[in-house]
Structure 1
Amino acid sequence: MQRLAQQQGAQVSELLKAHGGLSAAQFNVLRILRGAESGEGGEGLTCGEIGERLLAYVPDVTRLLDRLEKQNLIRRSRERADRRVVTSRLTPLGADLLSDLDVRVNNLHHAQFEHLSADQLAALLRLIQTAAQHPQSPPTQGEPR
């Protein structure tokens, strides 16, 4: 299972790098910001809020945001009520890139799974959803599984 996840993740990473110059973490941040803006208020997110929503732990979210801002994919601004709070929002360029990448990533995922029947895909989705509902903590060192 880990080999499959690594192979498919590598293909997504190659696609993101080739068509947007992005890392998987940067792509994830753009998606998080788009989701936040389409929700209530659409007020953007702070660095801490972005870090909490990332799929994988990123030790330095600020540096990640710096790179995205340098590429004009996000903009950051200080809040009027509390100047210490910096909020990040997607720029139109970031939204356009994300829309383009959505199509490319969806096409890649389709190609990755096109050899499975509709019933097999439905079964796989059910199994993944069931596994995700019951995460197990890793055993401590020396403890059998």
Structure 2
Amino acid sequence: MPPPGLLDELKKREPFESKEQEAILNILRTSDLFHNRLGRLLREYNLTGSQYNVLRILRGEGKPLPSLEIASRLIQVVPAITGLIDRLEKQELVSRVRCEKDRRVVYVMITPKALDVLAQIDQPLMEMHRRLIGHLSPEELQQLIDLLEKSRQAVTNEDS
């Protein structure tokens, strides 16, 4: 028996106005569910999703980055990157270093404490990814990735 559709989940009486509407609402509903589960896990480490994202970017880059560069790489757009970095600095997870060539540029550097926290999160996060979406086959996962990237590209092209 197939899982209940969004129409049933939302207890909607009338059909969706279009397949596009149904698809967008499915994406938003799924995103919200995933976001809540991931948020619960990250709260165990005193992090928000955005804070984790900054640390993940810095660890992956392996060197300090300007805060605007970090902002451009975030999964979710954050209007106040400075405040986000302030909170991470207060937790001693990042530090700031001024550029010697251009004093207006501030680099953000990940701390050893943050690397330890990320190392603790890595395994539980991978397990959560498997629980959330590991029931799909590799082919289905690739198809999902391709479709989402294609949809995101259309929006990106529209904005440019």
TM range (shorter): 0.7 to 0.9
- Aligned-pair Cα RMSD in Å: 2.0
1:10 to 13, 33, 36: 36
Relative to structure 2, which stretch is displaced further, 26-35 or 108-117? 108-117
How many Å separate the matches in 2 of 1:80 and 1:53?
A: 24
Deviation at 1:5, TM superposition (A): 1.1
How many Å separate the matches in 1 of 2:59 and 2:134?
A: 28
1:122 to 129, 133, 142: 142
> 1:94 maps to what in 2?
114
How many Å separate the matches in 2 of 1:127 and 1:24?
A: 24
1:28 to 47, 50, 53: 53
Task: Give me the TM-score of the superposition, normalised by structure 2.
Answer: 0.73
For structure 1, the 5+ residue unaligned runs are: 139-145
Deviation at 1:77, TM superposition (A): 1.3
Larger RCO, structure (CA 8 Å, separation 6 or more): 1
Q: Secondary structure at the match of 1:133?
A: helix
Task: Give me the TM-score of the superposition, normalised by structure 1.
Answer: 0.79
Instruction: Flag as ranges the 4+ runs of structure 1 deviating above 6 A.
Output: none
For structure 2, the 5+ residue unaligned runs are: 1-25
* Residue-pair matches, total: 132
1:75 to 83, 95, 106: 95
Code of the residue aligned with 2:74 in structure 1: it is L
Deviation at 1:122, TM superposition (A): 3.4
Q: Secondary structure at the match of 2:104?
A: coil
Compare CA radii of gyration and give the structure with the larger one. 2
Deviation at 1:28, TM superposition (A): 0.7
How many Å separate the matches in 2 of 1:82 and 1:127?
A: 42
Q: Do structure 1's residue 61 and structure 2's residue 81 form an aligned pair? A: yes
Cα deviations by residue, 1:6-44 (Å, 9 ceiling, x for unpaired): 1011100110011x111111011111112222xxxx3x1
